[in-house]
Structure 1
Amino acid sequence: MASIWVGHRGTVHDYPGFSPSVDAEAIRKAIRGIGTDEKTLISILTERTNAQRQRVVQEYQAAYGKELKDDLKGDLSGHFKQLMVALVTPPAVFDAKQLKKSMKGTGTSEHALIEILTTRTSRQMKEISQAYYTVYKKSLGDDISSETSGDFRKALLTLADGRRDESLKVDEQLAKKDAQILYNAGENRWGTDEDKFTEILCLRSFPQLKLTFDEYRNISQKDIEDSIKGELSGHFEDLLLAIVHCARNMPAFLAERLHQALKGAGTDEFTLNRIMVSRSEMDLLDIRAEFKKHYGYSLYSAIKSDTSGDYEITLLKICGGDD
């Protein structure tokens, strides 16, 4: 069965002649030796798919009675450690942990919340919610509720429910109707009916939304983005704009997030690690193409100039090539 975490435009593919026991032993040696053999760790973990890495994790546990992630944590440090641990984490658990991190401690990282909840499919969201409950013994919805408020909270909860239509079929009548509802809820009234925006943007499929945005333009002579910016504000506005961006072109949305993570003073490794790891088997090739198209230089060169050491080597291997 094809995994819901694997697409056709990834940079990481199944390793031919894969043997979990051979890999587990090589990793054990790399960690146990005098000084860690990072080269071996990197080459094994970046050249296997997540499904293969999970089999190595099981084999490692069976052979040595230890969790591979714990041994990596004990042996590595910094951003390199976080990246390597991310690689051996199952995708749904990884997303659950990223969501928890973005809601933990002082202040909420709304950008990370928005990015994860807008870019995952309904089926992925259902798995993430299950993983969240398994790891934290609390529902994702409860945590979102206690960390956010207002229309932003409502929309996040709708997305976290994983009820977005996934069908590729589009309905022209529905698009016309939804566009009119959005127009009546915003541009065409005194005050805005936020719930209508949430309902349509959080539940319709992306292809359906694209058609709706075309119809919206016909009715209002404006792009939906401009109406959202004019009518709404704060994190709710950010969230709806992210959905519009994803519906129009998700790889471009993620390329923009990577660009923000890599530009200016200091790197946002939290975002960089998340997108590189979570999209490496989905659509990283498309994200790379959009990056080059929008910024005039390659994602590979941006990573190269902004990171260093084993961390850089690992990211470049996941990136898979220069454009």
Structure 2
Amino acid sequence: MASVWVGSRGTVKDFPGFSAGRDADAVRKAIKGLGTDEESLINILTQRSCAQRQLIAKEYEAACGKELKDDLKSDLSGNFEHLLVSLVLPPAVFDAKQLKKAMKGTGTTESILIEILASRTSKQMKEVGDAFYTVYGKSLGDDISSETSGDFRKALLFLANARRDESSKVDGHLAKKDAEILYNAGEKKWGTDEDKFIEVLCLRSFPQLRLTFDEYQKICNKGIEASIAGEISGHLEDLLLAIVKCARSTPAFFAERLHKAIKGAGTDEYTLTRIMVSRSGIDLLDIRAEYKNPSGESLHSALKSDTSGDYEAALLKLCGGDD
């Protein structure tokens, strides 16, 4: 069964001649020896595919009686620890933990909820929902319901419940109809019918949405982004704009997020780690190409100038080459 977490444009592929037992042994030696051998850990964990890392973690636990993530946690620290621990988690569990963290404590980190829920496919979200329930014993929807409110909550729940159509077929007639609905719900009336925006943007497939945006431009003489920005505000506006970006180009969406994480005031290592880990097996090659577009600086050189030490070394390995 093909994993929903593997794409053809990842920088990290299956390692040829892979042996989970041999790698688990090497990882154990790197952790248990006198002083930690960070270089070995980096070489193994950043150069094995997601599925292979899960097998290493299984073998490690069988041999050592402890979970690899726990030994990494007790042996490493800081951003480097967070990165390697993230790499050995199953991707659905990783997303579930990120979502939980975004909703924990006082205040909700909406940008993380938006990033994950806007960009994941329905198949991925089904797995994240299952993982969330397994790890926390309650449903992702319940957490979202208690931590968010209003139309923002409604849209997040559509996405969390994996209701987006995944077919690649597009329907021109439906695109025209949806474009009319969006126009009538926003630009054409006094006040905005947010429900209509939520339904179209959270239920239709990305290829279908791209067709709808073209039709919308014809009717309205402006882009859907401009209408959303003018008609809707707050977290719902941020979420809907993120969905539009992902529908147009998911790699461009992530390149922009990486740019903010690296170039903003102080580096946002948390976002940096999340994107590099979650996209390295899917589409990081395309994200790298998009990253270079506006700035002319490659992701590789941005990481080099903005991070340091073992954390930098591991990120550069995940990034793959320089563009």
**Range into which the TM-score falls when normalised by the shorter chain:** over 0.9
2:155 corresponds to: 155
Q: How does 1:1-323 map to 2 (within 5 A)?
A: 1-323=1-323
CA deviation vs aligned residue, 1:247-283 (integer Å, no higher than 9, x gap): 1111001000000000133111111011000000100
In structure 1, give the amino acid aligned to 2:83.
L
Q: Distance in 1 between matches of 2:264 and 2:250?
A: 23
CA deviation vs aligned residue, 1:103-123 (integer Å, no higher than 9, x gap): 111211111100000110000
CA deviation vs aligned residue, 1:171-193 (integer Å, no higher than 9, x gap): 00000000000000000111110
Please state whether the residue corresponding to 2:12 is helix, strand or coil: coil
In structure 2, give the amino acid aligned to 1:72.
L
- What is the number of equivalent residue pairs in this alignment? 323
Please state whether the residue corresponding to 1:265 is helix, strand or coil: coil
In structure 1, give the amino acid aligned to 2:212.
T
In structure 2, give the amino acid aligned to 1:44.
I
Please state whether the residue corresponding to 1:48 is helix, strand or coil: coil
Over 4 Å off, 4+ runs: none
Q: Distance in 2 between matches of 1:43 and 1:288?
A: 21
Q: Distance in 2 between matches of 1:18 and 1:159?
A: 36
Structure 1, unpaired ranges of 5+? none
CA deviation vs aligned residue, 1:133-176 (integer Å, no higher than 9, x gap): 00001110011111111110000000001010111111000000
User: TM-score, normalized by length of structure 2?
Assistant: 0.99
In structure 1, give the amino acid aligned to 2:28.
R
Q: What is the deviation of 1:97?
A: 0.2
Q: Distance in 2 between matches of 1:13 and 1:264?
A: 30
User: TM-score, normalized by length of structure 1?
Assistant: 0.99
Q: Distance in 2 between matches of 1:28 and 1:245?
A: 42
Identity in percent: 74
Structure 2, unpaired ranges of 5+? none
Please state whether the residue corresponding to 1:86 is helix, strand or coil: helix
In structure 1, give the amino acid aligned to 2:240.
L
Please state whether the residue corresponding to 2:202 is helix, strand or coil: helix
In structure 1, give the amino acid aligned to 2:65.
G
Please state whether the residue corresponding to 1:169 is helix, strand or coil: coil
